[in-house]
Chains A and B, each alone.
Chain A
Amino acid sequence: MTSVALSAHRMRLELYPQKPWLLAALASLVLLVSLGALGLGATGLPPARVLRIVTDALVSPTAMAGGDALIILQVRLPRLLLGLLIGAALASSGALMQGLFRNPLADPSLIGVSAGAALAAATTIVLGDALLAPLIGPLPFMALPIGAFTGGLLTTFALYVIATRSGRTSIATMLLAGVAFGAFSGAIMGLFSYLSDDRQLRDLSFWSLGSLSGATWTKVVTATPFIVPTLLAMPFLARGLNALALGEAEAFHLGVPVQRVKALTIMLVAVAVGASVAAAGMIGFVGIMVPHVLRLMAGADHRMLLPASALLGAALLVAADTVARTVTAPAELPIGILTAAIGAPFFLWLLLRRPGA
């Protein structure tokens, strides 16, 4: 190209802004929401006091905390971090799934991880005491999350094997098998809620609506190694998913290692969502809504969409959790009720408002 043509193009390229401000704006939103989440609650604390407590704890982590500091450091901070992790995991997993399935309505449930986790959790809740306890003694404290995580992962693996023939995974087969498994697990769940006693039924419904109320430092530390790799791997998948939007054959023509992108995406999503569900139950709608909102705002390029989804998902889940634990204090709403009750109408409004819809 001649330099004249180049400079003419340079001027024209200014027409295609990359919107770097969006990620900065979303990161600020996450910080703002986090400060609010730490300050709001039965004991209200101003942001300055919150910051002071957190920085003090960072400077001298071994110092004994008391009073307000105890509330912040032992109750609200782990809950905040767990909310950030899970929100980021669910939203970016949603974006990854939609890219993989080339469908804006896809979500992690299509690869069976949520259904498998739910089934395993229900089994643990309803049959755990009756069947497992006599064999191995009283169920350990982490039995439910470990069961759910394992169940989700095993299910996804099974669907992956079903859908893979001679080294190629058929996304359509995986989707159909996922739907079939979802129906099956729904039936078993129905059977379990029919069989369960009152306490088990409450546990079941609480779990299937999701909640961050059980957040502890242990859960944060346990979930981190499963969720963070997904977040870190996203930039490497972005180009492949962009090309995959054109079709699998087209992605291959563009030199994308299609099968590797598929397998890696499925694995990362299963691990991240499995860990999220294990830690906080089923929280719906974040995975569909967040990427969709961002596509309307910033376009479909996964290089922007994936990190933006993680940030907005984190902010949204923490905000929803803050509302869930303050609006009916001292009681708590399951967070899944809130994300769906507020998310669905907002989503509809967005769809209707869209020009040309």
Chain B
Amino acid sequence: MTAILEAEGISYRSGSRMLIDSVDLSFASGSFSIVIGPNGAGKSTLLRILCGELQPTGGSIRWNGEPLRSIPAWRLAHRRAMMPQASDLNFPFTVFEVACLGVEGIGRGLSRRDRQCLALDALEQADVAHLAQRNYQSLSGGERQRVHFARVLAQLKAGQSLERQQVLFLDEPIASLDLKHQLSLLQESKRLVQDGLTVIAVLHDLQIACSTADELIIMQAGRLVTQGKPDAALTPRRLAEVFGVELIPPGITSSPWRLVLEEHTCSTSAPRRAGSGIGYK
């Protein structure tokens, strides 16, 4: 697999603080990477730099070998979509209109009808089609998050008319979702990864991160601790060092969490890792 996105020594300074400190990363095309780390580790900042929103104060980023800085905003919008942590709207847009925002001006040779169909498809994928005519402002936090998931899915789909290799950035996409929708959002993302999409997400739930990711990226205080396969990256020792929590000894594993996860993800996830019962003391 070739790298779609490569970061070399990127740093981001805000005032006198280094939010990101010389980080090297490489993302394989068609992989699912999850960024974890304690609060304030620079996870969201890293995502905002990788997607082109923030200019790093040092280092460089290449998309398929092309310097990120030289890619114009409209073209980037065809190559990647970003699902934000939270998004308020002060105007009474309907859910359908919000999904349509994802496809306006994206893609080539699409009629107005085509775009609207893409938006409706995406709303169905994110399980919010039944809310299509509702006022976005009247939705709950979790429903809003799903609407934005639909919006970014629609954007990627429309962008495919111009760019085949795409990246989806998810910034804590499941933070306010109920369990069922947490799983279905991640499954939908995994399905897209199998179709060749590259997904880079920030997550807080380490169990879900380990069972979902192809690669974990562990951040601490703006620095990259490691990038690698979940088993290799998140050792008990690292968990203690980075997060300051210790493992409950293996054997006492059966939280209801674990069971639900495995039932739902068995079709797509990597071979199950035995005895990795991670729990918090």
Q: B-contacting residues of A (Cβ < 8 Å)? A: 1, 5-6, 9-10, 12-13, 15-16, 98, 102-104, 239, 242-243, 245-247, 249-250, 252-258, 295-296, 299-301, 356
Contact = CB atoms under 8 A, between A and B. Distances in A.
Given A243-B101, A300-B92, A356 B87 contact: no
B73 interface: yes
B48 A301 contact: no
A193 B256 CA distance: 75
A253 B97 CA distance: 17
22 contacts: A10-B117, A13-B116, A13-B120, A16-B132, A242-B97, A242-B101, A242-B104, A243-B101, A247-B88, A250-B84, A250-B87, A252-B52, A252-B53, A253-B51, A254-B77, A255-B76, A255-B106, A256-B105, A257-B74, A299-B93, A299-B97, A300-B97
Contacts of A16: 94, 96, 116, 132-133
B90 A104 contact: yes
Interface of B: 48, 51-53, 73-78, 80-82, 84, 87-94, 96-98, 101-102, 104-106, 113, 116-117, 120-121, 132-133, 138, 155
A256 B120 contact: no
B93 A300 contact: yes
A296 B92 CA distance: 8
B83 to A, nearest CB: 9
A97 to B, nearest CB: 13
B129 to A, nearest CB: 9
B57 to A, nearest CB: 12
A133 to B, nearest CB: 48
Contacts of A243: 101, 104
B120 A9 contact: yes
B113 A254 contact: no
Nearest to B155: A254
A253 B53 contact: yes
Nearest to B80: A253
A103 B90 contact: yes
Contacts of B51: 253
Contacts of A257: 73-74
Contacts of A299: 92-94, 97
A29 B250 CA distance: 75
Nearest to A258: B73
A299 B89 CA distance: 13
Contact of A301 (B53, B76, B93, B117): B93
B112 to A, nearest CB: 9
A15 B92 contact: no
A253 B81 contact: yes
Contacts of B88: 247
B90 A249 contact: no
* Nearest 7 pairs of A and B residues by beta carbon: A255-B77, A300-B91, A255-B74, A253-B82, A9-B117, A300-B93, A300-B92
Given A10-B113, A255-B105, A257-B73, A245 B93 contact: yes
A102 B93 CA distance: 12
Contacts of A300: 91-93, 97
Contact of A249 (B74, B84, B101): B84
B121 A1 contact: yes
Nearest to A13: B116
A357 to B, nearest CB: 12
Contact of B91 (A5, A6, A15, A104): A104
Contacts of B84: 246-247, 249-250
